[in-house]
Amino acid sequence: MEQGDANRHNLYVELQKYGQVGDHERTLKIANKILHSFPQDAKAFHVRIYSLIHLSRFEDVLLAFKKHPDLGQSLEFEKAYAMYRLNKIKEALEVLEAVRDPPLKVTELKAQVYYRLERFQECFDAYREVIKLTDDDFDDERQTNLAAIVVNLCANGKDQEMPRFTSDTYELAYNEACHLIAKGKYSDAEKKLKYAEKVCRDAFDDDAPVEEIDEELNIIKLQQAYVYHVQGREKEALQIYSSILKKKPNDIALLAVANNNIVAINRDQNLFDSKKKMKATINEATQLKLTASQKRTVSINNCLLNIYTNQGDHALAICDDLMTKHPEAKETAVLMKAAVLMREGKAEEARKLLEKVGKEAPSIGLKMCLAKVQLLLLEGMLWEARKELATLDDDSLFKPGIVSALVTLYLEVGEPEQAAKLFEKAVSWNQKNKTVGDLSALWRQAADFHLRSGKPQVAANSLEELLKMNSRDVITLARLIIAYAQFDTEKANRLSKELPHLVDLTPNIDAGALESSSWMMGLKAIKKAAKVDPVQQTPGTPNVSAKKKKSRRRKRLPKNYDPNVDPDPERWLPKRERSTFKKKKDRRNKEVGKGTQGGSAHAADQYDITKMASGSLKKEVTTSPISEVRQSQQLRKAQQKKKKKGKR
């Protein structure tokens, strides 16, 4: 054996030793030594790729394949797996599809790639094939993945039933609950999620850390909160969302969903908090973990949040990006864009946008037309709104909701004749086309309108259609008789025989008792009559009901009451009208004069011209009345002070 072969043999012995114990760092070092001495050694290259994958150094894996392309021809699975882990999904699929006669591990990885590309039907077919041909310890995980694929198929509108599985894990129960949610069975989903939570808790040992258990339960709790959310139980949902965020789980996709759903609950409230949560949701790392439908929902909520915060330019940019990346959300994006333009006072531009999109996409033309009508109504342009609705085709125009809106507009603008014609056309068109659905409201409203408008023949047609839907409707039959009585009395008489007898309509009413009752005297008289005991008294027994009951209310007498003294005759008069009050008022105001305010009687005589001698009018007054009053006040205060000092 040559020296080089001996070194290689020793290195392989060492490589096998470290490989058996799973020491991937040392196996990588030894594989690199072998490749350094023997660059074309395929086994060492394989060990190197294997060790790099176990160490999660996927970039180095791709560099190794790039450096030694000839050695990696049989390692397509490892190369595709490294691309898959680096989110290079399309490149991974190209590598896998180039494999001829792929083994099961390649088919399983291809199924995972289909799932990430959201090609769920191909993913479902691939997984079903793998499950049929494998029987190992990973069977439970494959069944869980298959259940997740079925959930996504249902969420995308395909009615896919959940297969029957042999395993009973909490992951599988969780996916089955998601399947029920996709079908709208929220009550059943709530029960299934509680069962999944119980199974999850039982799967852990008693001494397991609480943080580890919570990490597994978070996704189940999040789905429970969503079930509460869609059922209108927003307080319970918000409480769970907030508790999940406080725990700070490692799953960033879980955090993004919780933040987004809290923003949806807040709506136009707590905008500052919503802004922070939305910022944490739309970062690049989080977007990689979300599905296309989740990204679309987040973008819509972000746009609405910007509308609430009056950031119109940012909202318009999000709408344009939404139409580019998610064409299926074009309708929502256009409506939000029109709302932004309307808020900015660009009503004409908003209407043109809706009209343009309605022509480009006829499938959403009706919704765009109704949105345009809504904008016209907000501006008070009733005639233009009426004209816009009238231009719809017959399939849309004669729908009950459109007919109702257009009739209201006709009546509002003063065109009742057009409203009557519209009802006639709607009735005849639906009769001719045999429209499927509940049109009872349309027939009823049309009949009432035509009866009020003096067109009993047209009203009779609507009532006949209504009677076909429910032949036992007595009210409709009575209205039909009223309509026929105005132009065909014979038919009205014939139909009147079909009306049920009064006894059949009111089997539990006693006409005699009703006539003899005191219902005309009012509700109190009826209650009093109901309290009377109708049992006859036997002779010789006293009538107990005739005795008057003694009043249990205590008589309240005034304080210091003396029965020997007559009460005050003025006790019911107000105090200001009593004689005692008047005397106090006269005594209190005895010294008040009627002259100048604040003047004394002596000063009043001085200024009384009748008591002055001719030519004796004084030009100066030595002491003014105000000063006299002040002097008297000062004297009074001094006397009061002396009295206080004496008391002390």
How many angstroms separate the CA atoms of 30 and 141, rounded?
Answer: 34
- pLDDT per residue as tens digits for the range 86-104: 999 999 999 999 998 889 9
Calculated CA dihedral for residues 622, 623, 624, 629, nearest 10 degrees: 180
Residue 129 · residue 114 · CB < 8 Å: no
How many residues are there in the chain?
A: 648
- pLDDT per residue as tens digits for the range 507-524: 666 666 666 665 555 555
User: Comparing 36-50, 437-451, 496-510, 544-558, which segment has the lowest mean pLDDT?
Assistant: 544-558
How many angstroms separate the CA atoms of 296 and 208, rounded?
Answer: 38
The confidence score (pLDDT) of residue 177 equals 94
For 334-452, where are the E strands, in sequence order? none
Residue 218 · residue 230 · CB < 8 Å: no
Question: What Å distances lie between residue 155 and 113, 219, 259, 291, 337, CA to CA?
Answer: 19, 18, 21, 12, 27
Mean pLDDT of 331-336: 94
Mean pLDDT of 482-507: 76
Q: Whole-angstrom distance between the N-terminal and C-terminal Cα of the chain? A: 133
Q: Residues of the chain with pLDDT > 90: what percent? A: 38
Between 593 and 458, the higher pLDDT residue: 458
Q: Is the pLDDT of residue 618 over 50?
A: no
Mean of per-residue pLDDT scores for the chain = 81
Residue in 601, 602, 605 with CA at minimum distance from that of residue 616:
605
Q: Is the pLDDT of residue 646 over 70?
A: no
The confidence score (pLDDT) of residue 452 equals 76
- pLDDT per residue as tens digits for the range 392-407: 888 888 888 888 888 8
How many angstroms separate the CA atoms of 331 and 360, rounded?
Answer: 12
How many angstroms separate the CA atoms of 321 and 333, rounded?
Answer: 9
Residue in 170, 215, 223, 175 with CA at minimum distance from that of residue 197:
170
Residue 263 · residue 278 · CB < 8 Å: yes
Two structure tokens written together for 247: 């725990």
How many angstroms separate the CA atoms of 514 and 502, rounded?
Answer: 15
Mean pLDDT of 45-49: 91
- pLDDT per residue as tens digits for the range 63-81: 999 988 888 788 999 999 9
Mean pLDDT of 307-317: 93
In the three-class reduction of DSSP (H, G, I as helix; E, B as strand; rest coil), residue 560 is classed as: coil
Say which amino acid occupies 622. T
The confidence score (pLDDT) of residue 504 equals 61
The 10 Å Cβ neighbour count of residue 632 is 11
Residues 6 or more apart from 503 whose CB is under 8 A from it? none
- pLDDT per residue as tens digits for the range 212-237: 999 999 999 999 999 999 999 999 99
- pLDDT per residue as tens digits for the range 144-170: 999 999 999 998 888 888 888 877 889
Residue 278 · residue 305 · CB < 8 Å: yes
Mean pLDDT of 352-381: 91
The confidence score (pLDDT) of residue 520 equals 55
Q: Is the pLDDT of residue 584 over 50?
A: no
Q: Is the pLDDT of residue 536 over 50?
A: no
For 49-203, where are the E strands, in sequence order? none
Between 427 and 261, the higher pLDDT residue: 261
User: Comparing 121-135, 275-289, 381-395, 427-441, which segment has the lowest mean pLDDT?
Assistant: 427-441
Residues 6 or more apart from 624 whose CB is under 8 A from it? none
- pLDDT per residue as tens digits for the range 181-224: 999 999 999 999 999 999 999 998 888 898 899 999 999 999 99
User: Comparing 216-220, 332-336, 574-578, which segment has the lowest mean pLDDT?
Assistant: 574-578
- pLDDT per residue as tens digits for the range 447-467: 777 777 777 877 787 777 777
Give me the helix-helix angle, 474-484 and 489-496, nearest 10°: 160
553: DSSP letter: P
Between 500 and 158, the higher pLDDT residue: 158
Say which amino acid occupies 187. S
170: DSSP letter: H
How many angstroms separate the CA atoms of 298 and 295, rounded?
Answer: 5
Residue in 298, 308, 297, 302 with CA at minimum distance from that of residue 269:
308
- pLDDT per residue as tens digits for the range 233-262: 999 999 999 999 999 998 999 999 999 999
Mean pLDDT of 303-331: 92
Question: What Å distances lie between residue 71 and 78, 127, 313, 434, CA to CA?
Answer: 13, 30, 54, 71
The confidence score (pLDDT) of residue 573 equals 85
Question: What Å distances lie between residue 231 and 67, 101, 175, CA to CA?
Answer: 57, 49, 19
Question: What Å distances lie between residue 408 and 402, 427, 446, 504, CA to CA?
Answer: 10, 17, 13, 39
Residue pointed to by tokens 């008047």: 582
Between 321 and 626, the higher pLDDT residue: 321
Say which amino acid occupies 314. H
Residue 167 · residue 173 · CB < 8 Å: no
Q: Is the pLDDT of residue 614 over 50?
A: no
Q: Tell me the backbone φ, ψ of residue 240, rounded to 5 degrees.
A: -70, -45
